[in-house]
Structure 1
Amino acid sequence: MTIEQATVAETAAITGAAELGGAVRWRGRATVAKYWADDDLRRATPYEVLEGDNLLLTAGATLLLNRLCGIAGTALDETNARVCVGDGTAAAAAGQTDLQGTNKFRKLVDAAPTVSGNQAFFWATFDTSEANFDWEEAGLANAAAGATLVNRFVQSFGTKTSSLQWTLTITVTAS
């Protein structure tokens, strides 16, 4: 089978990105910026920044196409978009509908997502009391519970503790 003959889910599984009709390519990137939370000076600059690539999930592709066509679906806006983290290490698979770990945390985005050119940016800050566990997976969802998980990243970002504040940014590029 060639890329041109593959479905969105098959293409995503083959390439780690989704190509729709050979014209649109989806790319997702998760960036975790880690900050110390104990004083203002150390909070000003991240002590580490990690990045990972994603898999567009079938349910996420369906949501995006439905929204594009004006069909019902919850928007990824400032009242619904959630940046998600978990401790699951199972390989990403197109048919997954949620994070795979035991520990999961969905955080409402800090502000309205922004679009610049062909990229959309979603970000959330996880304070010292939030998501204190091994961050092994991340994603973008459209509600706190019962949501559509759009994409899933499997990447060891490290262990967040109560002395740390981390910001997770998910960048989606269509080209």
Structure 2
Amino acid sequence: MPHATSHKVRDEIRSLEVAGRHGLQGWGEAQHRLLTDLGVEPDVTEVDGNLLMYGGASVQWQTLIGNGSATADQALTYYSNARAAVGVGDSTTAAAATQTDLQAATNKTRVAMDATYPQHTDGTVLASASIAFRATFGTAAANWAWQEWGIFNSATAATGRMLNRKVESLGTKTSASSWQLTLTLTLA
């Protein structure tokens, strides 16, 4: 079951200089506790489900048989930290498995992975059936109503392949906030 978590943080947090003083990078449990201790709570939105795109499914099958690529911006590029991106847009067009990009006419942005993402734990237990992608959209990025999102194997617009797409409102981002979107995909 695919799951998305969005952490929305007002820019006032920056005025506290929390990030600089405490090396804050991303939103793990330790960072959340730190902000809570300082009296700052991020707004968290959680959404389930999405649609696997045919092009993204093809990349997975091709890489399983050894046909993937580490070269940037190619159709069969791996969804690695150096290549993967999360994209958001403002279109409410229904998801269709044949789509190759977000459907917004102009308001769509892809952001590269945060450090250490995507994350997957190898093994033979249920937790090993999941992978998490995470990107942080700073105050200057994607300031519009977030109506759609997806995972890409390229941070460059109109290149690579879209793995999945979800159409659902996550709210309206402004330049007064940074939002972090974590997308977890599970095969189970």
Q: TM-score range by the shorter chain?
A: 0.7 to 0.9
Q: Which of 30, 49, 52 matches 2:45?
A: 49
Indicate if the aligned counterparts of 2:3 and 2:46 stay in contact, CA closer than 8 A: no
Indicate if the aligned counterparts of 2:45 and 2:170 stay in contact, CA closer than 8 A: no
Aligned residues: 149
The residue correspondences of 1:41-80 to structure 2 (distance < 5 A) are 44-72=40-68, 73-80=76-83
Q: Percent identity?
A: 40
Change (3 A) 1:157 1:147: same
Partner of 1:35: 9
How far, CA to CA, are the matches of 1:60 and 1:138 in structure 2? 14
Partner of 1:121: 132
How far, CA to CA, are the matches of 1:122 and 1:48 in structure 2? 17
How far, CA to CA, are the matches of 1:63 and 1:109 in structure 2? 18
How far, CA to CA, are the matches of 2:39 and 2:185 in structure 1? 26
Q: CA RMSD in A?
A: 1.6
Q: Which has the higher strand share?
A: 1
How far, CA to CA, are the matches of 1:86 and 1:68 in structure 2? 30
Q: Does 1:142 align with 2:153?
A: yes
Q: Does 1:85 align with 2:88?
A: yes
- The DSSP-based 3-state class of the residue aligned with 2:95 is coil
Partner of 1:100: 103
Q: Structure 1 length normalisation: TM-score?
A: 0.80
How far, CA to CA, are the matches of 1:78 and 1:135 in structure 2? 23
